[in-house]
Amino acid sequence: MQTLHYDVVVVGGGAAGVAAALASSRNGTKTLLVERNASFGGEATNSWVSAFCGFYTKGEKPEQCVYGIGEEVLAKMREYGEDTDYVINPSTKNASIRFHPEVVKVVLDDILSASDVDYRLCTTMIDTKVEDNKLVSIIIMDDEDKYEVYADAFVDCTGDANMIHMCGLKTMWGDEDGSIQQSSLSCLVTGVPKEEIKIDTLEAAIKKGKEEGIKDLHKERGMIIKVRNEDYGYLTIPSVTPKDLSGEELTKDHIALRKQALAYTKAISTYGEGFEKMHLLATAPYIGIRESRRMIGKVIIKGEEMLEGKKCDDVIARAGWPCEMHKGTGVKFTAMKENDWYDIPIGALVSKDIENIFTAGRSISAESVALASLRVMGTGFATGHAAGIVASVYAKDGNYDTKAVQKILKDQKALI
pLDDT digits 0-9 by tens, 233-252: 999 999 999 999 999 999 99
Interval 22-36 mean pLDDT: 98
pLDDT above 90 (res 26): yes
Task: Residue 326: name the closest of 158, 184, 160 by CA.
Answer: 184
Give the pLDDT band of residue 328 (cuts 50, 70, 90): confident
Question: Roughly how many angstroms between the first and final C-alpha of the chain, as a whole number?
Answer: 42
Q: What is the per-residue pLDDT for 71?
A: 98
User: What is the arithmetic mean of pLDDT over 76-97?
Assistant: 95
- Per-residue pLDDT band for 68 (boundaries 50, 70, 90) equals very high
pLDDT band per the 50, 70, 90 thresholds, residue 25:
very high
Question: Can you tell me whether residue 384 is helix, strand or coil?
Answer: helix
Q: Are 336 and 327 in contact (CB under 8 A)?
A: no
pLDDT in tens, 131-179: 999 999 999 999 999 999 999 999 999 999 999 999 999 999 999 899 9
Segment (H or E) for 409: helix 402-411
- How high is the pLDDT of residue 175? 92
Q: Is the pLDDT at 335 greater than 90, yes or no? A: no
pTM: predicted TM-score of the whole model, two decimal places = 0.97
Whether the predicted pLDDT of 12 surpasses 90 = yes
Query: What are φ and ψ of residue 52, in 5° steps?
Result: -85, 105
Given this model, what pLDDT does residue 357 score? 98
For residues 399-408, average pLDDT? 96
User: Per-residue pLDDT for 330 more than 90?
Assistant: no
Q: Check: CB of residue 408 under 8 Å from CB of residue 26.
A: no
State the fold for domain 2-176+291-411.
FAD/NAD(P)-binding domain (3.50.50)
- CA 371 – CA 353 distance, rounded (Å): 21
**What is the DSSP track for 206-275?**
HHHHHHTT-SS-------EE--TT-SEEEE---EE--S-S-HHHHHHHHHHHHHHHHHHHHHHHHHSTT-
pLDDT of residue 227: 86
Rg of the chain over all Cα atoms, to the nearest angstrom: 20
Average pLDDT over the chain reads 96
pLDDT at position 228 is 85
- Predicted confidence band of residue 321 (pLDDT cuts 50, 70, 90): very high
Give the confidence band of 291 by pLDDT, cuts at 50, 70, 90. Answer: very high
Residue ranges covered by each domain of the chain:
2-176+291-411, 183-283
The amino acid that residue 185 corresponds to is L
